[in-house]
Amino acid sequence: MSIAGTTVWVRVALDVPLAGPFDYRACEPVEIGLRVIVPFGRRHLIGVVTALPETPAVAPELVRDVEQVLRDVPPLPADWLRLAAFAADYYQRPLGEVMLPALPGPLRKPSSYQSARAGAGPVARLDARQARQRKAEAGPAMSPPELVQPALNAHQQKAVEAIAASQGFAPVLLHGVTGSGKTEVYLRAVQAVLARGRQALLLVPEINLTPQLQQVLVTRLQAMAGTHGVAVLHSGLAEGERLAAWMRAVRGEARVVLGTRLSLLTPLPQLGLIVVDEEHDPSYKQQEGLRYSARDLAIWRARDLGITVLLGSATPSLESWHHARSGRYLLLSLPNRAVTSTPPTMRLIDTRRLTLREGMCEELTDAIGRRLEQGQQALVFLNRRGYAPVLTCGACSWVSGCAHCSAHMVLHRGQGGSLLRCHHCGGRERIPRACPDCGNQDLEPMGRGTQRVEEHLAALFPEARIARIDADSTRLKGSAERLFVQVHAGEVDILVGTQMVAKGHDFRNLGLVGVLNSDAMLFSHDFRAPERLFAQLMQVAGRAGRHTGGSEVMIQTGYPEQPVYQSLLRHDYVGFATHGLDERESAGLPPFAHQALLTAEAGTLPDTLAFLGHAREVAEEGGNQHYVGDNDDLPCFPPPGLVTVYDPVPLRVVRVKNVERAQLLVESASRPALQVFLRAWLARLHGLPSARRVRWQLEVDPLEI
C-alpha cells in the first residue's frame, strides 16, 4: 500500500482533554474520515483523520508517525464530520471528545487491533462470525413479519400528508396527547423515506425500561425494512452487539436505526428523516462528558442535510413549543386519542383541610378500594424511593445526615433489616440503636417514600397484590421487565412507583392513578420544575385506562390554584405552555435567553468559589489579571453588555463525597454572542492558577440549574 517517498501530514482528532491540533506523518495516502492508530505520549490511541494539512502545526521533525491506517470502516462521511465539528464547537469541547465516544468501543481501542494475524480487527472478526452464522442458518432468508396497518384517522392523515409535502429542511413538531397515535405517523413518515431509498433515524428516550414497547415498534419497522434492515442502538447493548448494529447502519444495510440519544451520532450515508419521540424527555441530554442535547443536534443535522426532522410529544418542551408557535417549526396536532376511550378525569384533592394517613387522604384510599372491588388496578405515584427520606430523634434535633455529603441519609427497609443510605454518594450505615447526640432510643422516620406507602397500602388492603417499581426494586437486570409483565398480566392490583412507571407503559386495566407529594417539585429552585411536573403528571395520567374508560387521576396538593394543576385539570397543554412562555419571557429565561453553566468542585468550598470568582472577574473585565501565559492569540470577548454573568452560588447539595460544588450561570439573549463569549472565556479559564485546584466543566444549554 505504501508508496515510496510519500509523506502525508494528517491531522487527527483524539479523545484527550487537550485542545490539539494533533498532527502526524503517514507514508501512505490517507483519506479524511479514516481512523488511525497513533502514538500519544507513551500511549497508543485511535483517532479520526479530520484534515490533511499542507504543513504540520509544529516543526516537522517533532511530528511522529502514524502507526497504522485502519480501513476496516469506510471513511466517516463528510456530513458526520461536520456534525461532530459543530457539536464540538457549540458545546466547547475538543473534537476528539465528540467523535471517539460516538464510535463503538472496539473501534476506538488500539488493543482490539493487536492480534497476531494480519488483517484481524473487530470488524474482520465480526464479519467472519456473521459469515459462519449465515452458513449455519443456510435456509430461506427470514421474511419480515406481516402486520396490518390501521387506517389513519383524519388528524393522522393530515399530519402524514403535511410531512410528505415538506421539502428540504423541515422541522415538524407533532403535538399529540398520549394515545393519539403519534407512532403511526412516525411509521408512515419512515415508510415514505424508505420508499425513496433513504435511511431513517428514530430516537426514543432510554429504552432499557420498556423492552416490550420497543419490540412492538421494532416489529413494525421490520415489516417495512426487512428483518435485517432495522438496527437497534442503545446503551444496554453489549459491545459486540453495538458494533454489529453500528456497522450495519454505517454500511447502509440497516435502513432504519432505532436508538437512544447516542445513536444521533451514528454515521448514516443516506439519512433522509430523523424522528425524535418524546422530544421533551430529559434523557436526550447527556449529563456527563460532552453534555449535548440529541434533540438539538437532530435539528442541526437535519438542517445540514436538508431533510425532515419530526419531533413528537404530548407535552413538548417549551423551547420547541416556542419555535412552533413562532412559525419556525411546522406544528401538527393530534388532539384526540386514536382508540375510542375517554381520557381520565383529573381531580385535585386539596389537602390543606384534610387529615392524611401516611400521606394519603381518605378520599384516595376509598377510591383505590372501589377500583379493586371492580377488578381494576390502581397506581400510586410518588417520586421518592426508600422508606422515609430522613430519620429523626424524638428528643433532640438530630437527623440522619451523611458524613460525606450535605444531605440526609434515607431510611430503607430491606430483607436484612433497615439501613440508612445516602442517595448522593451511595454510602450505607446501620440504623443507630439510639440517638448519637442525646442517647434517646426513640428514633422516628419522617416523611415517606415508596416503601412506606407500599407498607401502608398492604395494611389497608391485605388481600391486594401490591408491586413496587422504583430504582431499588428493579436493580437486577430484567427485574423491571418482569414486574411490568406481571402488571400487564393482571397479577398486580396496586402498583406503587416512581417516575419509572410513567414511561410509555400502557396499562389496560388501570382505573385510578393517585399522585402523592408532587408539590415538592412545584417549589423547586429550578425554573423548569413546573414544566417537568406537568409533563410527568400528563405522562402518568396517560397510563390510566387507555382502554378501560371511566378512569381517573387524583392529585393530592396543598396548592390546587397553581397554574400547573389548573392546566392539568383541563388536560390543557396549550394553556400551560402559553402561561409558561409568558412567564419565561418576562423573566428573560430560556427560550428567550440562552444559558451556560460553569460548575466547579474541590475539596473545600473556598477553593471552588475562588475559581468561580476569578472566572467571573475574567468574564467581566475580559481581564488578564489572573491569567499567566501568552495572551496574544486568545479569542476576543463580545462587546460588553451582551452577556450577563451571575454570582457563583453553591449547589443545593453543596457537598457530595466530600467534594464541595458550586456553579456560575452565564446568560445572553443572543446565542451567537454567548458562543463568542464562551470561546473567549474558556480559552482564559484554562490559564487560571485557581483552575488547577478544582475540577470544572462548562455546560451549554443546561437543563437543570
Which residues contact Zn ion by CB under 5 A? 393, 395-396, 398, 402, 404-405, 422, 424-425, 427, 435, 437-438, 440
Q: List the grid coordinates of 15.
A: 479523545
For residue 177, the minimal CB distance to ligand ADP (Å) is 7
- Between 487 and 589, name the residue whose CB sits nearer to ligand ADP: 487
Torsion angles phi and psi, residue 333, rounded to 5 = -125, 140
- Between 414 and 629, name the residue whose CB sits nearer to Zn ion: 414
What string marks each residue from 160 to 189 as x (binds ligand ADP by CB under 6 A) or -? ----------------x-xxxxxxx-----
Torsion angles phi and psi, residue 466, rounded to 5 = -115, 135
Among 70, 124, 152, 642, binds ligand ADP (CB under 6 A): 152
For residue 218, the minimal CB distance to ligand ADP (Å) is 14
For residue 146, the minimal CB distance to ligand ADP (Å) is 16
Read out DSSP for 394-436? Answer: SSSS-B-B-SSSSSBPEEEEETTEEEEE-TTT--EEEPPSS-T
CB proximity list for 499: less than 8 A, separation 6 or greater: 383, 536
For residue 14, the minimal CB distance to ligand ADP (Å) is 41
For residue 149, the minimal CB distance to ligand ADP (Å) is 9
Size of the site for ligand ADP (CB under 6 A): 15
Verify binding: residue 150, ligand ADP, rule CB under 6 A.
yes
Asked if 511 and 377 count as a contact pair (C-beta separation under 8 A), the reply is: yes
Asked if 308 and 270 count as a contact pair (C-beta separation under 8 A), the reply is: no
For residue 128, the minimal CB distance to Zn ion (Å) is 48
Verify binding: residue 281, ligand ADP, rule CB under 6 A.
no
- Between 315 and 599, name the residue whose CB sits nearer to ligand ADP: 315
Helix and strand tally (H, E) in the chain?
18, 29
How far apart are alpha carbons 54 and 31 in whole angstroms?
14
Among 27, 44, 70, 153, binds ligand ADP (CB under 6 A): 153
- Between 338 and 533, name the residue whose CB sits nearer to ligand ADP: 338
- Between 501 and 688, name the residue whose CB sits nearer to ligand ADP: 501
Asked if 368 and 512 count as a contact pair (C-beta separation under 8 A), the reply is: yes
Q: List the grid coordinates of 197.
A: 431509498
What string marks each residue from 183 to 222 as x (binds ligand ADP by CB under 6 A) or -? xx--------------------------------------
Total residue length of the chain: 705
Q: Residue 383 binds which one of Zn ion, ligand ADP, none, with CB within 5 to 8 A depending on kind?
A: none
Distances (CA, A) of 269 to 12, 79, 162, 307, 414: 22, 9, 26, 13, 51
Asked if 367 and 552 count as a contact pair (C-beta separation under 8 A), the reply is: yes
Q: Residue 675 binds which one of ligand ADP, Zn ion, none, with CB within 5 to 8 A depending on kind?
A: none
Distances (CA, A) of 310 to 1, 87, 257, 577: 45, 20, 15, 20
Q: Residue 339 binds which one of ligand ADP, Zn ion, none, with CB within 5 to 8 A depending on kind?
A: ligand ADP
Q: Residue 512 binds which one of ligand ADP, Zn ion, none, with CB within 5 to 8 A depending on kind?
A: none
Q: Residue 150 binds which one of Zn ion, ligand ADP, none, with CB within 5 to 8 A depending on kind?
A: ligand ADP
- Between 153 and 517, name the residue whose CB sits nearer to ligand ADP: 153
- Between 174 and 495, name the residue whose CB sits nearer to ligand ADP: 174
Report which residue type is found at 407.
Answer: A
CB proximity list for 83: less than 8 A, separation 6 or greater: 265, 297, 300, 301, 304
Q: Residue 182 binds which one of Zn ion, ligand ADP, none, with CB within 5 to 8 A depending on kind?
A: ligand ADP
Q: Residue 152 binds which one of ligand ADP, Zn ion, none, with CB within 5 to 8 A depending on kind?
A: ligand ADP
What string marks each residue from 321 to 360 as x (binds ligand ADP by CB under 6 A) or -? -----------------xx---------------------
Q: Kindly provide the b/e burial profile for residues 459-469, where b requires at least 16 CB atoms within 10 angstroms of the residue's own CB.
A: eebeebbbbbb
Tell how far CA 20 is from the center of its chain.
29
Asked if 200 and 231 count as a contact pair (C-beta separation under 8 A), the reply is: no
Residue ranges binding ligand ADP (CB under 6 A): 150-153, 156, 176, 178-184, 338-339
